[in-house]
Structure formats: C-alpha cells, structure tokens
Structure 1
C-alpha cells in the first residue's frame, strides 16, 4: 500500500518520493529519445547518400583515362594502329612466325584499313636493353612470339597461332 502526501494543501495526492515534474521528465525523455532516434536515422541516411555519390557512383560511371600503358610507340599523327611483334632469336616458334610476319608486313605496311594506318613494330626480346625491358613490362609479354595491336589507346592481344590468314582476319576484324 502506498502512502500519499498532500502537496501545497491541494486535494491531489502523489506517492511519496514523486513530484509533479516526474511525469514531465518521463514524457520529455520519451519525446527527446524519439527525436534522437529520428535524427540519427536522418544523419545516417544523409551520410550514406553522400558516401554513395562520392565513392560508389564515380566507380560505376568510370570513364577511360589513358595511362602510360596505352601509349603507342609509333605514328602519333592521324589515326594509326600499331602492330607489335615481340620475338626472341632463339625461339623456334618465333623463327616459324617471322616469315609470316614479314609477308603480312610487306602487304599492309603503311596501308589504311577502315581509316587506320597500320604500322608494324618488331621488338627483339633477345636484346637486353632498358627499352626492351620497359616494353615487355608495359605490355605484359610472358612468352614468344607475342603480337599486340595498339588502337585508340587500347591494347588488343592477338591470341592464336600466327598465320597470314589469322593475322589478316585479326587486322580486318579489330580495325
């Protein structure tokens, strides 16, 4: 059983230890907690939107930016496509591919295919120079012979057994 006291001679009685401000504190605390929760949710929503537009959205809409890996070593004038032939003197596959390369080179050297002037570049990887090492690292040459086409800042790898027919088809398809 609770004991009640009379405050200021008024007729309403409260349990001992409680004042009239207790209810207001409880109601105010509930009110403040609600705004605190809503404010926190809004803060995290705004933070999430900011992080999305600042970090995620640029990655989804990334545009191509050429770097040193996509620089052609040949003609920088108009539209040109450079066909790179990485070979080694000691490689038997390169010795087989070299005459095919020379035939293709004599047929297409400085000719235009679909608006691209074809430039042929041979890189002898048997020569241990800084320029050869740089190009091998730049174009990820891991075996011989390796043929790559540089077109519009892109490196396109030829991935077939070298023959005049497949190389001609490669040039006509890619260009």
Structure 2
C-alpha cells in the first residue's frame, strides 16, 4: 500500500504551479475586497464629498460680496439708499457671471466691534462707500451710486 505522501507526490506534483497560482489569486482577491470595503466604500458611506462635482471645482462657491458702508446722518447716504435697496432686492443671492452676489449693509453709525473691523479692513474714509470683495481682492466702486452704475459695476467686475 502506498503512503499518503507518495499519492500526493505522484498525482499533485504536476499541478503544483496551477495550485499555487489559484491560491495566490484567492489571497489577493480577498485582500483587495477587504481594502475596497475598508477604505473606498466606507469613505462614501460616511459622507466623504471630496470628489463631488470635480468638473466644476473652479467655478463653484465663488462669491462676490458687495458692501454698502453708510451712516444715518449723512445726506449723501440717504440719497443713495433707495438705489442700494433696489439693487440689493434685484441682485442679492443671484448668480452673475459665475459668482453669487451677496449684498451686505454696513451701518457705521454705531460702531461696534464688527463694524470697526470692517472699516479698518476695507479702509473706509467717507460715506457712502461701496466695496466688492471678490476672489480675496477688494475692488473700489468709484462712481455716483445709482442702480444703473451698481449693475454695471457688478457685471463688469464679475466678468473679469
């Protein structure tokens, strides 16, 4: 009677390499499935949105903040206020040339900490003053404040 070793040697030796290749594929397949489940799928299940809307990465979340600095006692501010309100009602939150326009009122009559910081940051020297903050650049508005000039200003500055 032949021993177990001789049977394995005679019948499985010719298929040794096939057996080794199949075992290797099974091991690598199981490792790949584990890595996929652990690192790739789990990231999306937890809400990983790093790759959401990659094609539009350059144009999303672009804001153009338009600031209107004014004081209550200034006659020029009182004259400009109706045009600013009309402009704000038309453009606030709207998209213009790929930028979301945010209109922000800054009443500087009662200077609190936030107003003082904004006055220093935007270098406000007189009232009324309009400034645009777009792409981390401050743009001065140097024209008479009217609805038409504000509209042209926003269209021109967001188109650059």
> Shorter-chain-normalised TM-score: which range?
0.5 to 0.7
Higher relative contact order structure (alpha carbons within 8 Å, sequence separation ≥ 6) = 2
- Whether 1:159 and 2:142 are equivalent positions in the alignment is yes
Shift in Å, 1:97:
0.5
Task: Give the TM-score, by structure 1 length.
Answer: 0.55
Q: What is aligned with 1:90?
A: 73
CA RMSD of aligned residues (A): 1.0
Query: Is it true that 1:145 corresponds to 2:128 in the alignment?
Result: yes
Provide, for residues 23-68 of structure 1, a one-character-per-residue CA deviation record: whole Å limited to 9, x for no partner.
Answer: xxxxxxxxxxxxxxxxxxxxxxxxxxxxxxxxxxxxxxxxxxxxxx
Structure 1: 5+ residue stretches without partners: 1-76
For residue 103 of structure 2, the aligned residue among 100, 106, 120 is: 120
Secondary structure, aligned partner of 1:99: helix
Give 1:144 deviation, angstroms: 0.2
Greater fraction helix: 2
Residue in 2 aligned with 1:111?
94
Q: Trace 1:13-162 onto structure 2 (pairs within 5 A).
A: 78-162=61-145
Q: Structure 2 length normalisation: TM-score?
A: 0.61
Aligned length: 99
Partner Cα distance (2:111, 2:126) in 1: 15
> Any unmatched runs of 5+ in structure 2?
1-59
Based on CA coordinates, which of the two structures has the bigger radius of gyration?
1
